[in-house]
A = this chain, B = another copy of it.
Amino acid sequence: MTEFPTSIGSSDAATINLLGQDLANDLMGHVGFGELAFWLVAGRRPLAGELRLFEAVLVSLTDHGFTPTVIAARLTLTGAPESLQGAVAAGLLGGGSRFLGVTEDSGRFLADALSDRQDDLPVDDDGWDALARTAVRREHDAGRLLPGLGHPIHKDGDPRTPVIVRIAEEEGLRGPHLRLFEAVGRVHPDIIGRMLPLNGAGVAGAALADLGFPPEVLRGFALLARTAGLVGHLSEEMRRPVGLDIYRDIDQAVRYRPRPPSP
């Protein structure tokens, strides 16, 4: 049979190896849960400043109220109260391109814009603005939406964005992705013709990219953060259920309309 290599871990009768460490003696009680999540994906333990920024990003992504994914999770628990894992899974499944994908798309957009300037990064805001103008114009001319801009509720500014930037600055981690993202915030109105706020999902993608994570794993951290939020909502749903009320209200607002013939 084929051998399957892994760097995550292994175990024998007496020991559990996780990431090359002795889980029981070297990790439990010595590393935090957020720290371990970073380590599992990065393959290295975060420094203290990195961990503070990383956990701030996770905290910022944990919950946003009764989002479509939270409603879906609560309604799933209504039908299958014996299967908490099913309700959490249903909630995560809405974490696709439209909501959670923004974090990944922003990280990728910024990484792409930086990719041919690796050895020649701007040294001041004017330089970052110029680089941002090129990237924004290319997206705009191609008819693509800029990821990480705009928010249905926080129209005049997402409160999470400046806090992530500040924490990154405090920890010496305000790197090229964040600087470019901030520059996008400054230059885009002249190009697209209106002012949109830099949103929390976008700044999360920029900060995670500055922590060294590649775009394709960013959605994973958004899902991890969201899982904590879902567990919170579902434990509330167990104590004080609203699923049947949501169902009843929606059901009463449904109106049957015969389907119009296809053209």
**Mask of A63-103 contacts with B, CB within 8 angstroms, 1/0:** 11111110111011011111111111110111111111000
Whether A40 contacts B228 by the Cβ 8 Å rule is: yes
Copies of the chain in the assembly: 4
Minimum distance in angstroms from A70 CB to a CB of chain B: 8
Whether A245 contacts B2 by the Cβ 8 Å rule is: yes
Q: Chain B contacts of A69 at CB under 8 A?
A: 75-76, 79
Whether B60 contacts A231 by the Cβ 8 Å rule is: no
Whether A79 contacts B55 by the Cβ 8 Å rule is: no
Q: Chain B contacts of A157 at CB under 8 A?
A: 14
Whether B68 contacts A75 by the Cβ 8 Å rule is: yes
- Contact A96-B86, Cβ < 8 Å, known A11-B65, A254-B66: yes
Whether A13 contacts B155 by the Cβ 8 Å rule is: yes
Q: Which of A75, A164, A247 has the most CB of B within 10 A?
A: A75
A183 contacts partner chain B, Cβ-Cβ < 8 Å: no
B33, B92, B228: the one contacting A85 at CB < 8 Å is B92
Whether A243 contacts B28 by the Cβ 8 Å rule is: no
Expressed in whole angstroms, the Cα–Cα distance for A13 and B128 within the complex equals 29
Whether B34 contacts A247 by the Cβ 8 Å rule is: no
Whether B81 contacts A94 by the Cβ 8 Å rule is: no
Whether A7 contacts B76 by the Cβ 8 Å rule is: no
Q: Chain B contacts of A242 at CB under 8 A?
A: 4-5
A174 contacts partner chain B, Cβ-Cβ < 8 Å: no
A240 contacts partner chain B, Cβ-Cβ < 8 Å: yes
A133 contacts partner chain B, Cβ-Cβ < 8 Å: no
Expressed in whole angstroms, the Cα–Cα distance for A234 and B249 within the complex equals 20
23 A-B contacts (beta carbon < 8 Å): A3-B255, A4-B245, A6-B256, A8-B65, A10-B65, A16-B159, A18-B62, A29-B167, A33-B33, A33-B58, A66-B247, A67-B251, A68-B75, A71-B75, A80-B96, A83-B86, A85-B86, A85-B92, A85-B100, A90-B93, A216-B235, A220-B235, A224-B228
